[in-house]
Amino acid sequence: MAEKPWGGRFADQTDRRVEQFTESISFDRRLFEHDIRGSIVHARMLARVGLISEAECEQIVQGLSEIRAEIADGLFHFSIEKEDIHMHIESALIARLGDVGRKLHTARSRNDQVSTDVRLWTRDAIDAIDDRLIELQRAFLHLADRHADLILPGYTHLQRAQPVLTAHYALAYVEKLARDRDRLADARRRLNLLPLGAAALAGTTLPIDRAFVAEELGFAGVAANSLDISSDRDFLVETVFCLTLIAEHLSGWAEEWILWSTQEFNFLTLPDAVCTGSSIMPQKKNPDVLELIRGRTARVVGSLQTLLVLIKGLPLAYNRDLQEDKLPLFDAVDTVTSCLELASVVVSGARLNRERIASRLDEGFLDATTLMEYLILKGVPQRTGHEVVGKLVSLCESRSCRLADLSLADFQAACPAIAEDVVHSLGVANAVKAFRSYGSTAPDQVQSQLAEWRTRLS
């Protein structure tokens, strides 16, 4: 029984099935570096306040560093009898140092330890995902730069609506990703409080220095209520929610580009390197990467759901349910990381089919709203202008022509306020130039947004 660190009050062996059921080492071994980082600072704090000697502290730090190298090199032996990463590392230390190793867990519980480890891990994960978000923003910015002048049909309800510059389109995703970064930074700020020192749930009678530990581990402060912080997993829900929105953004974009790469749209050619073929239809080139980015969103939403249900109804302080928090966290981080990586590859490698897009811009009356706004500027009430242009559109449909093909007589028959200068509002190129509001697709607006993003992302 002695081998279990908590075995003192137990007379019988743990049932093997219980060991298998309760272990977390199969997944929480990913925390080893953060666990050791926290333990090293904890040991230094214990020495500072005199709970262990400087010499003992040096032995512990040395031992932990060796264990870290062993795990990193794949030489460390894991087994479910030792339950989790915390007990593995501690018992390896005790095996090396005997009684000195048995002092490391002074003034600490696995409850505050695991919360500290997961916070440190999540903080690093957020920073790595932020780098990927910047990379994808740059890929979209580059797409905007490659096609600054190309006009796209803008859609609402997936029906042709108004023309937009490709740069405006690409910057729409840069903005979404900027909000994603901002949200993660906000979640990071709230998670960056030190739990260690809360001990099991109530704190400790020992003279610890939590501020020192917080400072050394880069936390912005120390959690003020031991009961609260031992149970708190808000930071995981927040982080995974941020990841879910990233996945949702990627999923909408992927859907759009799947459509754009169809023969029906043919706006976009995906590089062979990101497509796969069919085992039966030799001609096929399928956008599987985009489909999987869209599909994996389901997993991330599932992780968020798992966390929300996991913490529902938990009474205060640590409950073993919380061990399950790491699986959805790791899965959401891994999934979003790889989706972001592949999204950057696709955005950088895709080719917009400029001629094909341009050759169909006359379809769909993309200039109709601009014409209506021309009428408003001539003093026609908006509702009247809307009706006039609606009738003109239907006239064009009956003649199979564009608004720009109508004669001045046709226009004036529909509305006498229309003059020769109407030509400046007709056709997609004129319609784009006519925009002027802040944040619109007006060329000078888009240019200044591009300039701003180039500076921000350089």
Minimum CB–partner distance for residue 29 and ligand ARG (Å): 11
**Interatomic CA distance for residues 159 and 177, integer angstroms:** 25
Query: Using an 8 Å Cβ cutoff, are 376 and 385 in contact?
Result: yes
**Strands, E assignment, 11-90:** none
Q: Which residues bind ligand ARG (CB under 6 A)?
A: 24, 28, 84, 110-111, 114, 318, 320, 322-323
Instruction: Please say which residue, 114 or 199, places its beta carbon nearer to ligand ARG.
Output: 114
> Annotated catalytic residue: which of 53, 65, 79, 278?
278
Instruction: Please say which residue, 6 or 351, places its beta carbon nearer to ligand ARG.
Output: 6
Minimum CB–partner distance for residue 65 and ligand ARG (Å): 23
> Annotated catalytic residue: which of 77, 157, 279, 407?
157
Using left for φ > 0, alpha for ψ between -120 and 50, and beta otherwise, residue 364 falls in: left
**Interatomic CA distance for residues 254 and 51, integer angstroms:** 57
Minimum CB–partner distance for residue 84 and ligand ARG (Å): 4
| Long-range contact pairs involving 44-50 (C-beta distance under 8 Å, separation at least 24) | 44/212, 44/216, 45/208, 45/209, 45/212, 45/213, 45/216, 46/103, 46/104, 46/106, 46/107, 46/208, 48/209, 48/212, 49/206, 49/207, 49/208, 49/209, 50/207
Closest C-alpha among 118, 58, 388 to residue 66: 58
Phi/psi at 407 (5° precision) = -85, 165
Neighbours of 195 (CB within 10 A): 26
Instruction: Please say which residue, 24 or 369, places its beta carbon nearer to ligand ARG.
Output: 24
**Interatomic CA distance for residues 92 and 60, integer angstroms:** 11
Minimum CB–partner distance for residue 232 and ligand ARG (Å): 13
Closest C-alpha among 210, 209, 180, 176 to residue 195: 210
Closest C-alpha among 251, 208, 238 to residue 44: 208
Instruction: Please say which residue, 116 or 344, places its beta carbon nearer to ligand ARG.
Output: 116
Between strands 193-194 and 221-222, the pairing is: parallel
Instruction: Please say which residue, 260 or 318, places its beta carbon nearer to ligand ARG.
Output: 318
Closest C-alpha among 151, 309, 178 to residue 245: 178
Has 157 been annotated as catalytic?
Answer: yes
Instruction: Please say which residue, 171 or 329, places its beta carbon nearer to ligand ARG.
Output: 329
CA distances for 436 relative to 368, 370, 371, 387, angstroms: 16, 11, 14, 23
Instruction: Please say which residue, 112 or 135, places its beta carbon nearer to ligand ARG.
Output: 112
DSSP codes of every residue in 429-440: HHHHHH--STTS
Has 230 been annotated as catalytic?
Answer: no
Minimum CB–partner distance for residue 242 and ligand ARG (Å): 22
Minimum CB–partner distance for residue 115 and ligand ARG (Å): 8
- Give the residue numbers annotated as catalytic, written as ranges: 157, 278
